[in-house]
Structure 1
Amino acid sequence: MLTEILIFLLTTILGYFLYVYKKIHRKYDESGVKYLPGLPFFGNTIRSTFLWSHIIDDIETVYKAFPKERYVGYMELTSPYILIRDPELIKQITVKDFDHFTNHKEFFSEEVEPLFGGSLLMMKGDRWRDMRTTLSPAFTGSKMRLMMPFMVEISKNIVEDLKDHLDEDIDVNDLMYRYTTDVIASAAFGLQVNSVKERDNQFFKMGRSLFTFTHTQRAYFFFCLMFPKLAKMLKLQLFPEGTTRFFKDIVTTTMEQREKNNIVRPDMIQLLMEAVKGTLSANSTEKEKEVGFATVQEEIKQNAVTREWSQNELVGQVFLFFIAGFETSSSTLTLLLHELAINPAIQEKLYQEIKDFEETRGNLTYENIGEMKYLDCVVNETLRKWAAAIIMDREVTKPYELPPPHEGGKPYKLKPGDIVYNVVNSIHRDPQYYPEPEAFDPERFSEENKHNIKPFTFMPFGMGPRACIGSRFAILELKVLVYSIVLNYKILKCKKTLDPIKLKALDFNLMALGGTWVKLEARK
């Protein structure tokens, strides 16, 4: 009897997924949208689901299959999405018609993940607008100027520690995690941490636990994607409760101590406290200093937000700042150093610029860091080739009609709740926009060449009002450490250095297959 029930249930489940699979195909066919059939249940993502390849490869396969289409169908497990391929259409969605696409897709609800779900990334509608307006003054150049000394000091710790490891193969992934941990600990949480000396400090371990998914966490992740309502009912948490509690306790305790003892420190917690009180000045009369070509220009609104924010909401913003700064910055830095190791001519040109700068300008400051144009080219080319963004997802909030996907086609009608994926990496690697896209060529972003970059084909921090609020911070964090390392050390290949770089099959993070390993040689 039990066997018959199990067979019936299994047959019913398989039948349901086959029905969904056919229904998605029928919808695309009726609308004249091209697609790759994929497989029942897995759609176009079977390879990345089982970690046979990176999710970027699954998206790229669909992107390349229909080079003349403005958009195509894309199936993520059992969910049908529209994959936007055309830069002009991406501009329409992310900027011109933004009021139809104001929200991100909900990965985890606030009920399931209170801190992540209640962060700026996951907030929707007016609540998101109010939080963005509240936080924007905290990310202006004048505020980043106050945080840059933290980065400089921590980069000196890294350079000093490396002196004792010149005869070793350096695990760059691990080193960059330690750098970004210390930067975020200082700039966001007001903590003095030295992760290269205190290798097992609690802050570093908690950060790593957020991005080292167990098999159970991966199962939870896919379950939440497949059955979001059921996941909400069951209150399944992706991040370990002890980890989120750790960050929550740090933020709340720090805020309470500063209020009680009238302590002021130029970090993210302080800026958040001031923003909530309405005392954070945007310094709108000050001309923003350019720190990099990729910087997203933030629109600062002077109207004060009257909404009161809960403690969980405030903690959620610092938690998001940690997640973004810890993982994406470390992976970008790692791949940048990897590229310098396997492209010695580029590294030497960068060194000459940095050396000349150091001899003529002396100390590295917020005011002069943008003067190193080739350093900016190297950072931009890394962000092009290895963009952590992957896609800009948008949830439809008002009915919208996409133009025909191709000449002679018919418009596609989107309804509220539909999801579009504006591709980033695939456009960054499209030869029609970047010839020889697999080559690491910083000259694409030189003063002579960057005007050739077509609008909305370089989007490492996203585009429009939903673009990354912390782009200026991220660029500074990258440049400060690259400057310090290249000035002091020559980055060399070792036996473990992968050339060319191939990505390890991960869900979203970017990491070279086998990791990034180099040797260092002290500069004379």
Structure 2
Amino acid sequence: MILFSLLVSFIFWLFNLSFWILLLSLPFGVAYYFYLRHRSKYFQRLSLPGPPITSIFLGNLEEFERNGKNHEKLLEWHQTYGPTFGMLQGAHRVIVTSDLNILNEVYVKQFPTFQARMIHPTFAVDQVNGSQLTLFFTQGNQWKRLRALFAASLTVPKIKSVEPIMKKAHHELYQAFKRNENKVIDVIPDYLQKVVNILGTKETSKSIIASFFAGSWDFLCITKYFQILQFLTIFREALQLRDNIIQAITERENESPTSKRDRDFLDFLREAQEDDIDTTNKPDLDRKIPKKLTRDELIGAAQGYLFGGADTTATLINYCLYELTLNPEFEEIILQEIEDYIKDEDDINYNNVKNLEFLERFVKETARLHPFAYLAAMRRAIEPTTLELSDGSKLQIDKDTAILPNMIVICKDEKVWGKNASKFNPDRFLPENSKDRHTLAWMPFGAGPRICPGKTLAIYETKATLICLLQNFKFQLYDKIELNEVTKTFMNFDSLKMKIILRKDA
């Protein structure tokens, strides 16, 4: 009887406590609701067109990300709302534009104002003071410092020095395809899916945790302390990758000075950890900040190579193989060019590969028609400014507003590329055909001071890998009808099945 009375008393007390908590929090709940209503009408107050929001908490994000068809939404909204429109990605204000003059302001003329990236809306990270951020995430002096250190590991001499490792990778790739000759396989590597899992790019609205961070970004000063909740959803893959990188770094630290191992980019990054990098030719770099990489920054830089390098390059190669199957006439030109410069495997080096000008134009045209990294090009204003639209009107940009270049539209804009803009034509990139083209018309690696530091490496890797593959194999697209192009971390086919045929049997 006593226990029963205690239980009833406890339930009564709990009911009263819940009642008072609800009563006291009600005004805050009502105030927050009206705040969300006000936030959701931001672009209306700017008189900037855009799609109606579908959620006062997530804005247009659910519709934008649905089924991975972000790229199709950008095209649809462009056709409906014009070249410049606004959308809300949770609490993130995003202005989407295909106006190249605006983009020139953002990426070049007003770069100091737009030096920060907007990363995925679910990432609640401090991009100014974060201690373990990669080059991709940082801004301000931290970005300048990491950029200088990172770029030192990507010079042409160091790219040339990793050629032995690239040859080994090409040999492994050859063996993998050789084992599957006359078979239909998915040429998209399995590891790309692991990278996607680590970056956590599922539809935001399908995750309570992701939705929370996207919709509450305007309270970053608080939510940044809870970001670990987001990482828990990808904990296993992220931890395994980090452990692998730490193991590789430790092995190099314990390595004998007389080791004959081929040096790689991790070794070059370690030089930035052990030695002061010469920054005398970089007047914009604050002399008071340290010039050496910390161990956490070294780990982050290595992760940056995997995310921003391996994933993007592999995706570009996939699209090149796809375009080769659709345009066999260009394959013959490339093969002839390869035969002119590449006699055997030893000839696949930086200088010879650079001479393959038609192949480079082919790669650039592929990147034009398939702007797979279009979401990575967003920039965020770190202070208020004004942009001039193509019609001469002024657009007020508040602090933290992001600009997204609508590369899905730009890449096929007939005003930029001519009436046959949708046709695959590598000769668009001949000097005489591109001399008068706007410099912001082609930006698969970004633009301005924050252009991807690995651009030279990515094009070289892509060309060298294609040489290796085309010398040995012919590819046939299995079923174009089944192809499904989706946007996850990057835009890519979720599966690209091809038949592998030995070149000598073709």
**Residue 450 (structure 1) shift:** 2.9
The 2-side partners of 1:378 and 1:47 are apart by 34
**TM-score by structure 1 length?**
0.78
Alignment of 1:439-454 (within 5 A): 439-454=423-438
> Is the CA contact (8 Å cut-off) linking 2:91 and 2:216 kept in structure 1?
no
RMSD, aligned α-carbons: 3.9
> Is the CA contact (8 Å cut-off) linking 1:94 and 1:101 kept in structure 2?
yes
Which of 227, 249, 264 is equivalent to 2:243? 249
5+ residue gaps in structure 1? 182-204, 285-297
Alignment of 1:259-274 (within 5 A): 259-263=253-257, 265-274=262-271
Deviations 1:60-109 (A, max 9, x none): 22333344x5x322232453322232212211211221111121125424
**Structure 2 vs 1, CA of residues 72 and 47 (structure 1 numbering), >3 Å: closer, same or farther?**
closer
**Residue 232 (structure 1) shift:** 3.0
Alignment of 1:95-494 (within 5 A): 95-105=108-118, 107=120, 108-110=123-125, 118-174=133-189, 177=190, 207=195, 209-210=197-198, 219=207, 220-228=209-217, 229=220, 231-234=223-226, 235-238=228-231, 240-263=234-257, 265-278=262-275, 306-359=290-343, 363-391=347-375, 392-404=377-389, 406-407=391-392, 409=393, 411-435=394-418, 436-494=420-478
1:511 aligns with 2:505: no
Which of 38, 57, 60 is equivalent to 2:72? 57
5+ residue gaps in structure 2? 1-14
The 2-side partners of 1:299 and 1:146 are apart by 28
Residue 52 of structure 2 aligns with an amino acid whose one-letter code is: P
Deviations 1:197-230 (A, max 9, x none): xxxxxxxx96574267678996133332222446
The 1-side partners of 2:29 and 2:490 are apart by 32
Deviations 1:289-310 (A, max 9, x none): xxxxxxxxx9998979634543
**Structure 2 vs 1, CA of residues 402 and 477 (structure 1 numbering), >3 Å: closer, same or farther?**
same
The 2-side partners of 1:251 and 1:508 are apart by 21
**Structure 2 vs 1, CA of residues 349 and 472 (structure 1 numbering), >3 Å: closer, same or farther?**
same
> Is the CA contact (8 Å cut-off) linking 1:166 and 1:521 kept in structure 2?
yes
The 2-side partners of 1:459 and 1:143 are apart by 25
The alignment of Structure 1 onto Structure 2 pairs a total of residues equal to 471
Q: In structure 1, what is the equivalent of residue 7 of structure 2? A: none
> Is the CA contact (8 Å cut-off) linking 1:28 and 1:34 kept in structure 2?
yes
**Structure 2 vs 1, CA of residues 310 and 164 (structure 1 numbering), >3 Å: closer, same or farther?**
closer
The 1-side partners of 2:161 and 2:287 are apart by 24
Structure 2 counterpart SS, 1:413 = strand
Structure 2 counterpart SS, 1:139 = coil
**TM-score by structure 2 length?**
0.80
Residue 167 of structure 2 aligns with an amino acid whose one-letter code is: V
| Identical-residue share of aligned pairs (%) | 20
**Residue 48 (structure 1) shift:** 3.8
Residue 154 of structure 2 aligns with an amino acid whose one-letter code is: F
**Structure 2 vs 1, CA of residues 39 and 253 (structure 1 numbering), >3 Å: closer, same or farther?**
closer
**Residue 17 (structure 1) shift:** 6.4
**Structure 2 vs 1, CA of residues 360 and 322 (structure 1 numbering), >3 Å: closer, same or farther?**
closer
Q: In structure 1, what is the equivalent of residue 12 of structure 2? A: none
**Structure 2 vs 1, CA of residues 110 and 16 (structure 1 numbering), >3 Å: closer, same or farther?**
closer
The 1-side partners of 2:306 and 2:131 are apart by 11
Residue 275 of structure 1 aligns with an amino acid whose one-letter code is: A
